[in-house]
């Protein structure tokens, strides 16, 4: 019988070359794992990719962080309202109403979120944000 | 508290009393020498009344356009954006605005503005054909693709 201890790789001798030890991520670990997967409607993927250039990288990252961690709360930067009428209705049971997020002076994004979405064939419940539309035209 | 009535001479003799009465919600009524009555009110109350009148007029114009099933933005007056809403949403919007006007009449201007702004934004989002198709359409799981944090 092989003891557990024998399966643990020990470091090579001090100062030795260690080719199979992975490097640490520059800047350390991310502060926390995103709580929500962020998905974009395919028709708006080209515009999504333009957000950093047209609205500024900082604004784009602030929006992503907002929806990835706290999609249902009032954002600390920018503003949001819930759309009214049919445009605000949840796409499926378990989804929020449509949130309308304004990137300061740079555009507007509509999304819905769910803590326990059951999408796809596997049907495993997971938190998800679905970005429905993006409008980068100025008012 | 009842509205206080002053004579024009009180503006000189009892100026402080007139001004204090004019600072209240009821205001002060001053009768001029020719019999004309003037109302002294806090400006914020007057501004609120002006908004109330303007919004009520807008509401009535839009309601009339909806009754006529109008499709011309100009017929909706100051609520021209309503033209982008379908018939059901227009009715829901009118119900919401009517309730919000009641809040405005009670001095809750921000609550009214929140409702108005949410509907205006909704209608503006629906003014674009692609956005309208997505926001009002039946969405499938494979309509979406996962994205990473922008870098």
Contacts of A118 in chain B (CB under 8 A): none
Per-residue pLDDT of chain B (151 residues; tens, 9 = 90+): 677 899 999 999 999 999 999 999 899 999 999 999 999 999 988 988 899 999 999 999 999 999 999 989 999 999 999 999 999 999 999 999 999 999 988 888 899 999 999 999 999 999 999 999 999 999 999 999 999 999 8
Helices (H), chain B: 10-13, 15-22, 43-67, 87-105, 109-125, 129-136
Q: pLDDT for A77-113, tens place per residue?
A: 778 899 999 999 999 999 999 999 998 767 899 999 9
Looking at chain B, which residue has its C-alpha nearest residue A39?
B146
Q: pLDDT for A52-71, tens place per residue?
A: 999 889 889 999 999 999 99
ipTM of this predicted complex?
0.82
Structure tokens, B15: 């100026």
Of the residues A84, A99, A124, the best mutation for testing chain B's interface (the one with the most B CB atoms within 10 Å of its CB) is A84
Which neighbouring-strand residues pair with A134?
A: A109
């Amino acid at each position: 019988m092989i003891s557990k201890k024998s399966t643990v790789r020990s470091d090579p001798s001090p100062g030795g070359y260690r080719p199979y030890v992975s490097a640490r991520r520059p800047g350390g670990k991310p502060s926390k794992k995103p709580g929500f997967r962020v998905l974009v409607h395919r028709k708006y993927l080209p515009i999504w990719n333009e957000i950093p250039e047209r609205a500024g990288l900082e604004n784009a990252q602030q929006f992503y962080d907002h929806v990835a961690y706290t999609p249902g709360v009032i954002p600390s930067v920018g503003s949001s309202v819930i759309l009214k009428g049919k445009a605000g209705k949840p796409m499926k049971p378990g989804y929020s109403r449509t949130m309308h997020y304004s990137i300061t002076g740079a555009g507007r994004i509509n999304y819905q979120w769910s803590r326990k979405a059951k999408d796809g064939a596997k049907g495993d419940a997971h938190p998800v944000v679905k970005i429905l539309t993006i409008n980068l035209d100025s008012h | 508290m009842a509205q206080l009535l002053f004579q024009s001479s009180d503006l000189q003799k009892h100026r402080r009393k007139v001004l204090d009465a004019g600072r209240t919600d009821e205001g002060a009524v001053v009768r001029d020498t020719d019999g004309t009555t003037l109302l002294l009110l806090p400006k914020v109350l007057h501004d609120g009344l002006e908004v109330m009148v303007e919004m009520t007029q807008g509401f009535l114009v839009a309601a009339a356009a909806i009754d006529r099933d109008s499709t011309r933005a100009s017929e909706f007056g100051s609520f021209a954006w309503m033209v982008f809403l379908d018939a059901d949403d227009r009715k829901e919007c009118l119900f919401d605005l009517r309730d919000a006007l009641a809040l405005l009449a009670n001095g809750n201007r921000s609550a009214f503005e929140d409702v108005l702004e949410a509907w205006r934004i909704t209608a503006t989002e629906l003014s674009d054909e692609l956005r309208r198709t997505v926001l009002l359409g039946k969405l499938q799981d494979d309509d979406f693709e996962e994205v990473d944090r922008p870098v």
